[in-house]
C-alpha cells in the first residue's frame, strides 16, 4: 500500500472573499498534493480516511461545513471554478491531483478543463454528469422548484434526512451515523440557500456545456463508478470514460451506492495506490 497514515491539520483563511476552512495532511501522495472535493450535502469530513491514507488537502466548499456561506457568493459551476483557482493559488498547489465526488466532480472537472497542464492525476467517484442526457433525480427536482425547494429545506430534520438518505447506500438501512451527524450539524440556513442556488443554476444544457472540453483532460484518470447509485445512473461512468481524454481506467463497482467507498471501504486504498502511481488490479471484484 502506498503512502502511510498521515495526520491532518486544520486551517482557515479569507479566500476569494469567503472565510474558508480546510484540512491538510502530509505527506502528499507521490509528492504531488491531492485536492479532495466533496458534494451535497457533505463537507470535508467525508475525506478523513483518504487524508489519513494518502495525505492531501480537503476543504469545505463555500456554503458548506465550516466555511463561510455568504448570500452574495456565486453558487454556480463558474463561481466555484473561480474560487477554486484562488484556493489553489493561496495554498500553493501549483501541480495537483484531484479526488472528486457528486457536485465536487462537476466543480473539479470544470477547473481541470482549464488547468489541464497543472493536473497530475484524477480519481472520479460518482459525479454530476457534465454530459448529454442527464436528468435531475427526484430530490433535486424538488430543490430546483421555487417555493417547493424552500419548503423541503424548512422541513428537513435529522430524522427526515436520515429517512431520505436510506436509498443512498447499498447496505440496508440509512447512512452511517457519523456521516449523518456531520451533514446535519452543518445543514443550516446558509447551506440550504447554497444548495438551492447551486441546483437552480444548472439546468441540463448548462451541465452539458460545462463539459465541452473534457477531451482535453489527458492526465491519468481512474473512474470508480457504482452500479447502485439512485441519483446518477450507472451509464454515466462509461460515458465519462468515453468523454475524458487520454485512456481513463473505468471500474464499475457492484454493491455500492452514491458514497461508493462507504459501501466498499477498500476503494480508499485503491484510490491511494492510483494517486501514488502504483500498478492496480485490472478490475474490482
From CA 49, how far away is CA 41, in angstroms rounded?
18
Which residue in the block uniquely carries the three cell numbers 473512474?
223
Per-state percent for the chain, helix, strand, coil, to nearest 5: 40, 20, 40
From CA 45, how far away is CA 143, in angstroms rounded?
24
Q: Domain 7-275, what fold?
A: Rossmann fold (3.40.50)
Long-range contacts formed by 115-118: CB under 8 A, 24+ apart: 115/85, 115/88, 116/216, 116/217, 116/218, 116/219, 118/88, 118/94
pLDDT computed for residue 171 by the predictor: 82
What are 134-193's pLDDT values in tens digits?
999 999 999 999 999 999 999 999 999 998 888 888 888 788 899 999 999 999 999 999
Domain boundaries, the chain: 7-275
pTM recorded for the entire structure: 0.93
Could you check whether the bond before residue 41 is cis, i.e. omega within 30 degrees of 0?
yes
What are 233-249's pLDDT values in tens digits?
999 999 999 999 999 99
In the chain, the N- to C-terminal Cα span, in Å, equals: 18
Longest dimension (CA), the chain: 50
**Residue stretches of the chain with pLDDT short of 50:** 1-4, 280-285
pLDDT computed for residue 1 by the predictor: 36
pLDDT computed for residue 118 by the predictor: 95
pLDDT computed for residue 285 by the predictor: 45
Task: Identify whether the C-beta of residue 219 lies closer than 8 Å to the C-beta of residue 192.
Answer: no
Pairing of strands 34-37, 56-59: parallel
Amino acid at each position: 500500500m502506498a503512502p502511510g497514515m498521515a495526520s491532518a491539520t486544520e486551517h482557515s483563511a479569507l479566500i476569494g472573499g469567503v472565510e474558508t476552512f480546510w484540512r491538510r495532511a502530509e505527506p502528499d501522495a507521490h509528492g504531488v498534493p491531492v485536492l479532495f472535493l466533496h458534494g451535497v450535502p457533505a463537507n470535508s469530513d467525508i475525506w478523513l480516511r483518504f487524508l489519513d491514507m494518502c495525505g492531501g488537502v480537503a476543504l469545505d466548499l463555500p456554503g458548506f461545513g465550516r466555511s463561510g456561506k455568504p448570500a452574495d457568493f456565486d453558487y454556480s459551476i463558474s463561481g466555484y471554478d473561480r474560487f477554486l483557482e484562488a484556493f489553489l493559488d493561496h495554498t500553493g498547489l501549483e501541480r495537483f491531483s484531484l479526488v472528486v465526488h457528486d457536485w465536487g466532480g462537476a466543480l473539479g472537472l470544470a477547473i481541470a478543463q482549464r488547468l489541464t497542464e497543472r493536473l497530475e492525476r484524477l480519481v472520479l467517484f460518482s459525479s454530476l454528469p457534465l454530459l448529454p442526457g442527464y436528468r435531475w433525480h427526484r430530490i433535486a427536482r424538488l430543490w430546483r422548484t421555487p417555493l417547493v425547494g424552500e419548503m423541503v429545506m424548512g422541513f428537513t430534520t435529522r430524522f427526515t434526512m436520515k429517512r431520505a438518505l436510506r436509498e443512498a447506500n447499498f447496505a440496508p438501512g440509512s447512512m452511517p451515523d457519523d456521516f449523518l451527524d456531520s451533514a446535519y450539524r452543518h445543514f443550516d440556513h446558509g447551506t440550504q440557500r447554497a444548495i438551492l442556488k447551486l441546483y437552480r443554476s444548472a439546468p441540463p444544457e448548462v451541465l452539458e456545456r460545462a463539459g465541452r472540453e473534457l477531451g482535453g483532460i489527458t492526465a491519468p484518470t481512474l473512474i470508480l463508478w457504482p452500479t447502485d447509485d439512485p441519483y446518477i445512473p450507472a451509464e454515466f461512468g462509461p460515458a465519462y470514460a468515453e468523454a475524458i481524454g487520454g485512456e481513463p481506467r473505468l471500474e464499475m463497482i457492484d454493491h455500492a451506492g452514491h458514497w461508493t467507498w462507504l459501501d466498499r471501504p477498500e476503494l480508499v486504498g485503491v484510490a491511494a495506490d492510483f494517486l501514488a502511481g502504483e500498478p492496480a488490479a485490472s478490475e474490482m471484484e
